Amino acid sequence: MTEPIIDLRSDTVTQPCEGMKQAMLAAQLGDDVYGEDPTVTALQARMAEMADHESALFFPSGTQSNLVALLSHCQRGDEYIVAQNAHTYKFEGGGAAVLGGIQPQPIEREPNGLLALEKIEAVIKEDDIHFANTRLLALENTTTEGVAVAVDHMVDAAELCRAHKINIHLDGARVFNAAAELGVDVSQITRHFDSVSICLSKGLGAPVGSVLCGSREFMETARRWRKTVGGGMRQCGMLAAAGLFALENNVERLKDDHALATYLFGQLKPFKDIEFACGQANTNMIFFNLARGNVDEFHRFGKQNGVLFNGPNPIRMVTHKDLSKQHIDIAVERLSGFFRGSFSA
């Protein structure tokens, strides 16, 4: 296999840098199930402050953080509204339904990536014994397609929920990417939600972990549910230290990942056999389909030549902190062999 391997599958493939590893080794530890790990406590306090919420709770994964949020907001037989292709609905094993008896009410996103407010309002159930109780709206920022949703839309959605007396949760796995793209402080997005799940192990570069933010009362319920679903960890301050390092060192540089995705888009655009699904780079992601050629063969060709990416339909490529322009140039040069004869200069 050609070296080096250029991994564009996801920003989850990032490796901890030496500074992060040293912070992990130096972390003070305690038993976090007893609430005695000082590094976890520091991470939770820092994230709550940054998100403008009262309290926060450290989780091993974003899937578990989202699941606990849904379990804490809803009872069995309740319903949550969610996008048809949202991560909590499509990519988290149906956990809310399987483990919580919570019914999803999926609706289609608009072409611009937003959930139209009128569509949300149309599926909020009236108080009738025939219907599940609508308890929650779950949104994303960024969306699964990498779109940074405008703050105004988040505010309007929150106001709609307040008017209908339902709660609102944000799957903010890449909410720092959204803030970087929109040029706002992350709290301007997160403060409008009753709960927010924020991932540390994507563009921020930590090896593991997400943090759920909300009110103190909400977090007491969430802590109980975290234990129920097996998320209580012991001396996990080493992991929390990585998260603290990421928050201090890797937030501002997310803009570099976005610029690199735009560069990748520009390098691939001249290939006439590529049709871009979004017409541009969205934060640190690009999506495209093949106008000609077999997608499975394209994947195999990429892997054989040391370029990894996800898909198909559409193919997704994600930039991250462990990639540079040189890596992108190498990747495009290798992939050009698949399109040889189809390149339009």
pLDDT band at 341 (very low <50, low <70, confident <90, very high): very low
> Per the CATH hierarchy, to which homologous superfamily does domain 6-13+253-335 belong?
Aspartate Aminotransferase, domain 1 (3.90.1150.10)
What are the distances in angstroms from CA 73 to CA 137, 156, 219, 284?
10, 20, 11, 31
User: Could you give the CA distance from residue 121 to residue 150 in angstroms, rounded to a whole number?
Assistant: 19
Query: What's the pLDDT at 250?
Result: 98
Percentage with pLDDT > 90 across the chain: 92
340 phi/psi in degrees, rounded to 5: -50, 130
Q: Where are the extended beta strands (E) located within 115-219?
A: 133-140, 167-172, 195-199, 210-214
pLDDT tens, 84-128?
999 999 999 999 999 999 999 999 999 888 999 999 999 999 999
Rounded to whole angstroms, what are the CA distances from 271 to 257, 258, 267, 303?
A: 22, 21, 9, 19
What percentage of the chain reaches a pLDDT higher than 70? 98
CB distance 83 to 140 below 8 Å: yes
| pLDDT number for residue 345 | 37
Task: Kindly report, residue by residue over 108-120, the tens digit of the pLDDT.
Answer: 999 888 999 999 9
**Domain residue spans of the chain:** 6-13+253-335, 31-249
Query: Is-cis flag, bond preceding 111, omega within 30?
Result: no
CATH of 31-249, one of 3.40.50.300, 3.40.640.10, 2.40.30.10, 3.40.50.970: 3.40.640.10
pTM of the shown model: 0.94
What is the DSSP-derived secondary structure letter of residue 15? -
pLDDT for the residue 113:
83
The Cα 58–Cα 222 span in angstroms is 11
What pLDDT is attached to residue 208? 97
In this predicted model, what pLDDT tens digit does every residue of 156-189 receive, in sequence order?
Answer: 999 999 999 999 999 999 999 999 999 999 999 9
Mean pLDDT of all residues in the chain? 95
Give SS3 for 86: coil
Is 60 exceeded by the pLDDT of residue 331? Answer: yes
Mean of pLDDT values over 179-201: 98
Query: Which stretch of 1-10, 98-107, 119-128, 314-323 has the lowest confidence by average pLDDT?
Result: 1-10
Q: Provide the pLDDT for residue 335.
A: 95
Strand runs (DSSP E) across the chain, as ranges?
6-7, 55-59, 78-83, 103-107, 133-140, 167-172, 195-199, 210-214, 274-276, 285-290, 307-308, 315-318
3-state secondary structure of 43: helix
